[in-house]
A and B are shown apart, each in its own frame.
Chain A
Amino acid sequence: QLQLMESGPGLVKPSETLSLTCTVTDGSISSSSYFWGWIRQPPGKGLQWIGSLYYSGSTYYNPSLKSRVSISVDTSNNHLSLKLSSVTAADTAVYYCVGYFDWSSFDNWGQGTLVAVSS
C-alpha cells in the first residue's frame, strides 16, 4: 500500500511562498499512469483541490489558484513538491498529498500537515 507523508514549515509569513514536500514510500513516484496531487482544508471548512501532476510531467491546477501554484516531482528522492506564492491568512489549512490512478477518485492520502499563515 502506497504511503504518503507531507512535510514542511508549519508557519509561513504573509506574502511569502509556502513550500511543502510529500515523500512517497512503498511505491515509485515515477509509476506510469499515476497522478499525484495536493488538496487542502482550512480549519473547520471543506476540501479544495489545489492541483495535480501526471507521471508524464503534465500539471493541472485549480483555476482559482493557478497563478500562484506550482507542483513538481523529484524522482531521485521520490518527492512531490508544492509551492504556493503570495500567501495570505486564507491559505491557512491542512495540506494533503494524494496519489491516484485516474479522476474517478483520490485513492491514497497522506496524513496532512497544518500550515498557518501569520506574521
Chain B
Amino acid sequence: QSALTQPASVSGSPGQSITISCTGTSSDVGSFNLVSWYQQHPGKAPKVIIYEVTKRPSGVSNRFSGSKSGNTASLTISGLQGEDEADYYCCSYAGENTVVFGGGTKLTVL
C-alpha cells in the first residue's frame, strides 16, 4: 500500500485557478469513487472539502471541485483567494477497509 502521488507544491495568483493532481493505482483511486480531499491550515486539523470524488460538504465553497480520470484524481480551486493558502491532501479507499493518503501539496497564493 503506497502513498498516493501529489505535487509537493503549486502556486497561483488571486483570481486564478489551480489544479492539484493525485495519482494512485488500479487498486485504489482507479477502483473506487471514494476519493476525498482535505484542506489543512498551519497548526489546524484537516478539514474535508471534497468527498466521493466530486461532492462538496455543506458549507464548502463551490470554488472547490473534484474530478477523476483513471487512476488520477484532481482538485481544482477557482478564483483563488488568500485564505486558500494551505496544505491539501487527497485520500482514497484502497479496499478491505483501508485507506491511503497522498503526500500532500502546499498551495501558495502569490
Contact = CB atoms under 8 A, between A and B. Distances in A.
B51 interface: yes
Chain B residues touching A, range: 20 to 34
**Residue of B45, B89, B102 with most partner-chain A CB within 10 A:** B45
Contact of B45 (A48, A52, A63, A110): A110
A62 B1 contact: yes
Interface string A1-29: 00000000000000000000000000000
Interface in A46-81: 46-49, 52, 58, 60, 62-64
Contacts of B97: 52, 58, 60, 103
Interface of B: 1, 3, 34, 36, 38, 45-48, 51-52, 57, 89, 91, 93, 96-104
Query: What is the predominant secondary structure among interface residues of chain A facing chain B?
Result: loop
Contacts of B98: 49, 60, 62-63
Contacts of A62: 1, 98
Contacts of A112: 45
B1 A46 contact: no
Nearest to A111: B45
Contacts of A64: 1
B34 A104 contact: yes
B47 A46 contact: no
Interface of A: 45-49, 52, 58, 60, 62-64, 96, 103-107, 109-112
A47 B46 contact: yes
Given A46-B101, A47-B101, A105-B91, 4 more contacts: A96-B45, A104-B51, A104-B93, A107-B57
30 contacts: A46-B3, A46-B102, A46-B103, A47-B38, A47-B46, A47-B101, A47-B104, A48-B101, A49-B91, A49-B98, A49-B99, A49-B100, A52-B97, A58-B97, A60-B96, A60-B98, A63-B98, A96-B46, A103-B34, A103-B93, A103-B97, A103-B99, A104-B51, A105-B36, A105-B48, A105-B57, A106-B38, A106-B91, A107-B48, A112-B45
